[in-house]
Amino acid sequence: MSSPSLTPRATIVFDLDGTLAETAPDIFAVLNIILEREGLAPVPPARARDLVGAGARVLIERGFSLYGRTLDAGKLDALFALFLELYADRIADESFLFPGVVGALDTLARKGHRLAVCTNKPERHARMLLEALGVEGRFGAISGRDTYPYFKPDPRHLTMTVEAAGGDPADAIMVGDSRTDVLTARAAGLPVICVPFGYTDVPVEELSPDVVIPHFDDLTDAVARLTGA
């Protein structure tokens, strides 16, 4: 069903980690470097998808909690700063775009849609990653957790990203993979498309997005249905 507030050229705003790109391997590798520096054993890669998806600070806390350790604010701040430094050095060693992403972005652009990224990753790292993956130039705006005074699930993070891309905040669609993305879109009064292969604590179908697409080859049709194009 199309939304009466959407036009055939609505702005399409993407989450990054777990939506456009598989980034867990690099993020998890940095966590294990930090754990080893603190005298703890590395966490098996099989646990990666259980731990990532809520930002680096939460990831660090989750990693240490596996060993029954809690971190005070000062220690967490220090480890977070170290994480950002280490992650910048291996931003895309093992990360990759999900299949069909480039084709979907190009098709949407040809149809006149503005494209943007709204992520809770720091903006510097988001831009570094997208540049390394060869798609930074496809987006009219890239906003991170630190770009504005607000970040997801605050809807202003999403609506200000749309404005930065030159779009109308009432004429946009969110594409994400998690509860945070759905909550952000709903708070902004916008429809949301979810992918089921990202970083989420429950199956995305249980979050009741407007559409779930199993592959990025399905994104253009999903957008057309929502916009009535």
Confirm whether pTM is higher than 0.75: yes
> What is the pLDDT, as a whole number, of residue 6?
94
> What is the pLDDT, as a whole number, of residue 107?
98
For the chain (229 residues), the mean pLDDT of every run of 10, in chain order, is: 80 97 92 93 78 80 89 94 95 97 98 97 96 98 96 97 98 96 97 94 93 98 94
Q: In whole angstroms, give the CA distance from residue 22 to residue 12.
A: 20
Q: Print burial letters for 82-101: b (CB count within 10 Å at least 16), e (below 16).
A: ebeebbeeebbeebebbebb
Q: In whole angstroms, give the CA distance from residue 66 to residue 77.
A: 19
> What is the pLDDT, as a whole number, of residue 199?
87
**Catalytic one among 15, 26, 177, 210?**
15
Residue 15 falls in the annotated catalytic set: yes
Residues whose CB is less than 8 angstroms from the CB of residue 229 and which lie 6 or more positions away in sequence, other chains included: 8, 111, 223
> What is the pLDDT, as a whole number, of residue 4?
62
Least Cα distance to 52 among 42, 68, 44, 63 occurs for 63
Place of tokens 């607000």: 150
> What is the pLDDT, as a whole number, of residue 55?
76
Domains of the chain from N-terminus onward: 11-22+95-227 (3.40.50.1000), 24-89 (1.10.150)
Least Cα distance to 143 among 55, 14, 21, 22 occurs for 14
- Consecutive H or E run containing 80: helix 73-89
